[in-house]
Amino acid sequence: MDSVGTNRTPLRSAAAAAPATRSSALPWPHCHPAVGNRLAATKLGIAARCGGAGGYFGKVQRFDAARSTTARAQSGKAARSVIREMGHTASDSEMPLKYSSGKAFPLGVSQVDGGLNFAIFSQHASSVTLCLKLPERGTQDDEEIVEFALDRQKNKTGDIWHVSVEGLPASGVLYGYRINGPQGWQQGHRFDDSVILLDPYAKLVSGRKYFGVDKEESSQFFGTYDFDSSPFDWGDDYRLPNLPESDLVIYEMNVRAFTADESSGLGPAVRGSYLGLIDKIPHLLELGVNAVELLPVFEFDELEFKRFPNPRDHMVNTWGYSTINFFAPMSRYASAGGGPVAASKELKKMVKALHNAGIEVILDVVYNHTNEADDANPYMTSFRGIDNKVYYMLDLNNNPQLLNFSGCGNTLNCNHPVVKELVLDSLRHWVKEYHIDGFRFDLASVLCRGPDGSPLDAPPLIKEIAKDSVLSRCKIIAEPWDCGGLYLVGRFPNWDRWAEWNGQYRDDIRRFIKGDPGLKGVFATRVSGSADLYQVNNRKPYDSINFIIAHDGFTLCDLVSYNSKHNDANGECGRDGCNDNYSWNCGVEGETNDLIVRRLRSRQMKNFHVALMISQVYIIDLPWLLFMSNRVVYDLQVTTQ
């Protein structure tokens, strides 16, 4: 997500910086507003605001194994309660359902003989209710929920709550959970059974239909599944491309932004979609790219800023660094509003097409925090309401409050055994189901912290990712810092697997090109492999991922056009981003018609490109590793004629 020296934390030397948060004066969540001088969010003329946490489908049928007679009413509508004991059949509607105790594994929803099994972890819950919205039940304005209140004796194994339901269709069902437990924030819990929560292990997520459009669709997100479709035909995809790390030329891109504009030449139905990217593969090959690194494609809420009135509620989160679920592909990247099932199929088509062209697919993954913000704005989607005390790092001496090493209000408790397994299961899922070639871990230093936030010498999650057999062929790349000052460039736990974004390379090359004195030796060290950072730890030269610009901070054009940031349009009042970008405006701040300044800026951009292209190591002859944003590709084409 944020490079050191970009969105939320100052540029640092190898010494750890002081803990930092982003725009702490603002009470609302902060998840990737625009930085530099290009907004990553777009104004939309939408009057409606996202609904609050929780959601209401309409009528409620309640099947209670504990024989509770409690019915729930929401949104001023009367709820309907139908009580059934375990094993009985609900036959008073079009679709008879029968349910039984079920099994604890696998987590999520899975097929069993005669039905579907639902399983969810919650260590501290006192009650769990499965909520189902069935297709073709009720009208659009009066839809029906079927609820199964689980019995602690019959539907619970250890800390896993489970139930098997017969009679459900093989696709099209939306589901979630109501979960209750101990009250009182002093214990670290945030239970609220008025909210329907998203299953952390949902493989598909259903929300609004179109990106950035909040019409009649609910703003709540629900799990769904598809056991109807035939398996995707991958052919001999596993044979391709499997490139050596030393040969990678990586192009960083946002799936939607890559083709969303009409200048892409694509039809409206496929602009900004997985399929739209396929049409641009010849362009990538022309650039010499052999790997794409996709900004987050996990399901996220692009309208998160509309949860409540705030200065940024006109903005849309286009980057996706605000994860809702770690297993489901972003459904609104499907073409023509196709939804979650189409998104899954089209993402696979995109990966296969890229592989056929010899291009690997690396995902930028965000396991350091979720979209649920901080305690000042307790937006509840999933983890907070399922088991806040397990899923998040807490300051147990402070009421207890969420620890914030991510700069986005919360920090995932990645080295807790349950959360660690969730992350590993997620990574394995993307490799097995979508044939992903590698992962770039956003703010990866968070993954090196224990439950209380203390840095770990041998973080279990980092080690298990490196040693996992399913992930053995994957490229694994760390962004080796976080917003709490844990700066691990050159020191990230490696286990002979982990590569790193080399933030020191970026900073030193920027300073050298803009003319800071005394940097000739430093420049030579950086372009020849950063031996001072990697050789001393017996690392490989290609463990250093060299870059000058990325999605965070200034574009290359900004780097030669501004001495300071001008984040004026995103509601942050200039508080976001860093103040040390090592940029030079070539004599005029911002845009200018001065031809002398424009020529100088063009030469400076060429200098940056040359620096990347000569960045070869001195141990073996390796090419440069090049990171380009969409803007930089444009600059590359213009300035290297």
**What digits encode the pLDDT tens for the residues 600-640?**
999 999 999 899 888 853 222 222 334 433 333 333 333 22
Annotated catalytic sites, by residue? 442, 479
| DSSP letters spanning 111-152 | EETTEEEEEEE-SS-SEEEEEEEEEEEEETTEEEEEEEEPPT
**pLDDT digit string, tens, across residues 514-543:** 999 999 999 999 998 899 999 887 898 889
In the 8-state DSSP scheme, what is residue 16? P
- Give the span between the Cα atoms of 150 and 160, in whole angstroms: 11
Q: Which residue has the tokens 């998040």?
A: 392
Distances (CA, A) of 593 to 37, 271, 564, 586, 589: 18, 33, 20, 13, 12
Q: Which residue has the tokens 């603002």?
A: 26
Read off the pLDDT of each residue in 28-49 and give the average, rounded to a whole number.
27
**pLDDT digit string, tens, across residues 493-502:** 999 999 999 9
- Give the span between the Cα atoms of 635 and 621, in whole angstroms: 27
Cα 521 from chain centroid? Answer: 38
Q: Give all domains of the chain, ordered by start, each with its CATH number.
A: 58-194 (2.60.40.10), 237-639 (3.20.20.80)
pLDDT exceeds 80 at position 52: no
pLDDT exceeds 70 at position 97: yes
pLDDT (0 to 100) of residue 63:
58
Read off the pLDDT of each residue in 98-110 and give the average, rounded to a whole number.
97
Given a contact cutoff of 8 angstroms between Cβ atoms, the answer to whether 169 and 135 are in contact is yes
| Nearest C-alpha neighbor of 84 from the set 146, 143, 133 | 146
**pLDDT digit string, tens, across residues 560-598:** 999 999 888 777 777 777 888 999 999 999 999 999 999
- For residue 53, what are the contacts with CB-CB under 8 A and spacing of at least 6? 192, 195, 378, 379, 380, 381
Average pLDDT value for the chain: 82
Cα 111 from chain centroid? Answer: 27
Q: Residue 612: enclosing H or E segment and its boundaries? A: helix 595-613
pLDDT (0 to 100) of residue 237:
84
pLDDT (0 to 100) of residue 623:
28
Strands (E), 409-526: 438-441, 475-478, 499-501
- For residue 421, what are the contacts with CB-CB under 8 A and spacing of at least 6? none
pLDDT (0 to 100) of residue 607:
95
pLDDT exceeds 50 at position 94: yes
- Give the span between the Cα atoms of 179 and 126, in whole angstroms: 8
Higher pLDDT, 279 or 76: 279
Angle, in degrees to the nearest 10, between helices 460-467 and 417-434: 30
Name, of 62-71, 296-305, 621-630, the range with top average pLDDT.
Answer: 296-305
- Give the span between the Cα atoms of 475 and 248, in whole angstroms: 10
Given a contact cutoff of 8 angstroms between Cβ atoms, the answer to whether 443 and 480 are in contact is no
Read off the pLDDT of each residue in 103-123 and give the average, rounded to a whole number.
97
Three-state secondary structure string covering 352-379: HHHHHCCCEEEEEECCCCCCCCCCCCCC
Q: Looking at 113-117, 216-220, 230-234, 334-338, which range is the least confident one?
A: 216-220
- pLDDT tier at 95, thresholds 50, 70, 90: low
pLDDT (0 to 100) of residue 194:
95
Q: State percent of the chain over pLDDT 70.
A: 79
pLDDT (0 to 100) of residue 626:
40
| DSSP letters spanning 501-514 | E-HHHHHHHHHHHT
In the 8-state DSSP scheme, what is residue 2? P
Distances (CA, A) of 556 to 135, 289, 626: 50, 18, 13
Given a contact cutoff of 8 angstroms between Cβ atoms, the answer to whether 359 and 281 are in contact is yes
Higher pLDDT, 64 or 416: 416
Given a contact cutoff of 8 angstroms between Cβ atoms, the answer to whether 576 and 570 are in contact is yes
Q: Looking at 63-77, 153-167, 225-239, 484-498, which range is the least confident one?
A: 63-77
pLDDT exceeds 90 at position 20: no
| Nearest C-alpha neighbor of 283 from the set 637, 638, 624 | 637
pLDDT (0 to 100) of residue 143:
63
Given a contact cutoff of 8 angstroms between Cβ atoms, the answer to whether 287 and 252 are in contact is no
Q: What are phi and psi of 300, to 5 degrees?
A: -145, 165
Q: Which residue has the tokens 């803009």?
A: 514
- For residue 397, what are the contacts with CB-CB under 8 A and spacing of at least 6? none
- Give the span between the Cα atoms of 631 and 323, in whole angstroms: 25
- Give the span between the Cα atoms of 396 and 403, in whole angstroms: 9
- Give the span between the Cα atoms of 205 and 299, in whole angstroms: 7
Reading the block at residue 524, the tokens are: 């030579």
**pLDDT digit string, tens, across residues 357-369:** 999 999 999 999 9
Higher pLDDT, 553 or 441: 441
Three-state secondary structure string covering 147-207: EEECCCCCCEECCEEEEEEECCCCECCEEEEEEECCCCHHHCCCCCCCCCECCCCCCEEEC
- Give the span between the Cα atoms of 201 and 120, in whole angstroms: 8
pLDDT exceeds 70 at position 27: no
Reading the block at residue 203, the tokens are: 């493989």
Distances (CA, A) of 213 to 33, 206, 239, 316: 19, 14, 40, 10
Q: Looking at 131-135, 257-261, 312-316, 631-635, which range is the least confident one?
A: 631-635
Q: Please give the single-letter amino acid code of residue 626.
A: L
- pLDDT tier at 108, thresholds 50, 70, 90: very high
pLDDT (0 to 100) of residue 71:
30
The whole model's pTM is what?
A: 0.85
Q: Looking at 248-262, 275-289, 317-331, 605-619, which range is the least confident one?
A: 605-619
Distances (CA, A) of 135 to 144, 175, 182: 9, 11, 34
Peptide bond into 106 cis (omega under 30): yes
Looking at the DSSP bridge assignments, the partners of residue 204 are 224
- Give the span between the Cα atoms of 445 and 450, in whole angstroms: 11
Q: What are phi and psi of 365, to 5 degrees?
A: -115, 145
- Give the span between the Cα atoms of 176 and 580, in whole angstroms: 45
Q: Please give the single-letter amino acid code of residue 214.
A: D
Q: What are phi and psi of 471, to 5 degrees?
A: -95, 10
